[in-house]
Structure 1
Amino acid sequence: TGLRAWLMSTCDVQVSAVPGAFTETNQDMVLLTLTRQPRAPRRITIFGRELSAAEIEATPNRSWRVSDDLARYFTGATVGDKLIASSGMTIGNNELFLRPIQAGGLIYEPYDFAFADEPITVAKEIARARLGKVSPRRLQRVALQEARGDTEKIVVWRQLARPHAITLPHPDYCYYNKAVAAIVYHPPEWVIFWRNDGEYVYTFKKTGNWYLHGVGGQKYFGREGLTWSLIAPRLYPRYLPPGYVLDTGAPCAFLRDGVAADELYFILGWALTDLCSRILKEVLNHTRNIQSKDFERLPYPVWVDAARKQQAIAAVKELVLAAQAGRRLTFEDADVRALNQLFCWPENDSQPMLPRPNAHHQLGLL
C-alpha cells in the first residue's frame, strides 16, 4: 500500500505484459514502467486501461485492481469501523495440547501434566533466540542467573498407560477454533488443554523458541465474534460463539465497543455474499491468504437501506440457528444465495454481482 501510494505521488505508472516467453518460471510476471511526472494527478495504466486516481485512492490499500463496477462500493466506510479483527495463537505442539472431540462429547487424554523447575542457562537462551542472536545485555543477565543457580518453571508430561476418557464440558478444557471449510456455523471439533486458564500452554510457549513467546489474539479469547479460514479461495465466514480459544489458522473479528450486537449478523451476511468475496479477491488481496486486515478493509454495506438491513439480519440469525440445530449449509443453498440480493447495489436488485471470467488472471501481482 505504501509503495503504491508513493509511486502514485511521483510517477506515471504503466503495467503491461512482459514481452517474450520464459521457460525458467511459471510465476506470473508483469512489466512495470515508471515515468517521473511533476504534474498531478499521475496516470495509472493497467494493461492498456487507465484507472481513475480518485477510485484508487478510495480503496484502503490503494488498489490498482479496482474496476469501474467495484469502485462505487468503496465509500470510505469499512467493516473495520464496526469490527476489530485478530489472528489467533500458535501453540507450538498441537499434538501435546489439542484433543479431537469424539461422539457423545468425549475426549481421550493421553498425558499427565505437571510443572517442574529447570536451571536457566546461557546455552538454552541462545538456542531459543531468533538466529541464535541474543543482545549483550540479555546475555549478561542470563549469565548472572545461571551463576546464581536460578531456575524457571517448565511444563513436563508423561504418557499415560491408558488414556483417560473425559466428558465435555470439563473445567480443564476449552473449545479451540481451528479452520474448517464450513460457513454460517460449525460445531466445535477440538478442545485445548486449558487448566488454570491456560497456564500450562502459556508456560510451554514462554519457555519455547522465540516465535512462540507471543500469544496472538489473547485478549479476544472467549469472546463472541466471526471467524473464517486463513487459507481459502474465498471467504468461508461463520459465527463464533463465546468460549473459544483462537488458532492462528482461523482469524476472527469482534464487535468494537459501542457497536450494536446485530452488526455481527449483518456483517456475517455480507461476508457470505459473492460480491464480498469478489471485492476481497479482486481488489484487496488476490492471494489465498485472508488476513485480519483484509477483512477490516472490506467496504461496509452503507448502500443497503434500513429495511433490507433488518431483513438481512433476520435471515442470518435464522441461518445460524439452523446450522446450530445440525443443518450443514453451503454457498449453493437457496437461503444463503438469497443474501446476494439483499446486499447488491440498489439499481441491480435483479442482477447479483458475479466474478468476471478470468478476472483473477489479469493482475496476479498487483
Structure 2
Amino acid sequence: MREDCVRDRADGGHRSKPMSAVIREFLSWYNDYRHAHLVFNDPDGNTVRSKMENSHQPSYGNRYYARFKALERQVIQEYDNPHSCILTFSGSHKNANGDWRCPVDHLRDVIDTWRPERGGGVYHQLRQSLDGMEWEYCVGVEHNSKGYGHVHVGVFVDGEVAESDFHNVIDEHLRLCDIAHRDAHNYYHPDSEKKPISVRRIDPSLDPEDYDGSSDVVGNVASYLAEYIGAAADSELFDRSPQELYFRAACWASGTQRVRFSTGANEMIRHDRDESRRVETMGPVNHGWKPDATAEKIAEAANHPDRSATEWLEEPDEGCWTLQGIGRVDDEGETTFEIEQSTVQYREIHGAESLDPPKKLPPTRPIPESTDTSLVEYH
C-alpha cells in the first residue's frame, strides 16, 4: 500500500492504517488537486497554465468516455462483423471468520486471476477461446453496493460470438479465485441481468435512444461499456456515495488502475486521435484558455507518476517548455510552489493474514437448472 496509508511496526514491518484513516488520506490528497494548476513557460516566454488532474476527477471520466468512443469508432471502421461482450468477475466480501473482508485484499484476489504472474489465467483462457479471431479488450474495476470491487472486461470481437464461447473464461476465474462462488457467476441464470456474460452485436445504425438493454444488438457501445464500468461519472468526488469512496480509497491506496486497455485497443484509440486531431494554438495567459493538443501532452507528462516532466519538456522536439511549479490562487493572488518529480512509494503489509483469512469456496462450475444436484468440480 502507499506509504502514507501504512504505519510502521517496532519490528520494522508495516501495518495498514484503519479504513477511516485511509479515506482521510485519500480525500486530503484529492483535495490538494482542487484549485491548483501547473505553471509553464512556453518556447515564446508566455506563461501557460494547465489543470492538475487525477483519475478521480469528473473531467477524467469524460476522458475515459472519449477513449471508449474512439475505440468504438475504430472497431466499427476496422471490423467487418463487430460484436461486444461484457464479462464480470467478483468474489465474496466476507472472510473466513464471517467478518468484512479487507477491501484491498479482496480487490487483489478478484483482479489477480486476470493475468497471474505464473501459469495461465483468465486472459489466457480468453485468448484461447477466441483463437483465430481478431479482438481487443478493456478492463474496468467498479464497486458494488457494499463498496467492494469487481471487474468488468469489455471484449470487442470481429465475428459472431455467443455466451457459450465465454463459459470457460468464467470457469477459469472460479478455478483461480478462492473467494469466487458459482452463484455469482451463473451463466445459466434465467435473468440475463444477473449473468456474468453479456454478448451484443454492434450495429452503428441503431439509434442509441431506442436501446433499452433488452436487445442483443447495441448501437452506442461507449455508453453501453461506460454504464458497466462506471468510469464516466460526472459528479464531484465529494458528492459520491460512501460505498464509492471506500472503493476508490482502496484503489488509490493499492495503486490499482481502474480502467486500462489492451495494447491493440490503445493503438486503435491513438489512430482515431491522429485522424481527428486539429492543430490549434494557446495564447498568453491573459487571453484565457484555448484547447490545444500540446497543452494536453504537457499536462499528461507533468501528471505522470513515473517520468520526469522537466526532462521531457526540455527535449528539442518539444521546443523547450519550462515547468515553473504548482500554482494556487486565493484572495491575495497566485502563489507558485516549486515541485520535485517523484514516484509514489509502496510498502508491503506484514503479519495480518490471521486477521483477514479469505473465505475459500469450492471451485465449482455453474450448472443448468435442469441438471441434478451433484456439483461439477475441478480436479
TM-score bin (small chain)? under 0.3
Larger Rg: 1
- TM-score in terms of structure 2 length: 0.22
- TM-score in terms of structure 1 length: 0.22
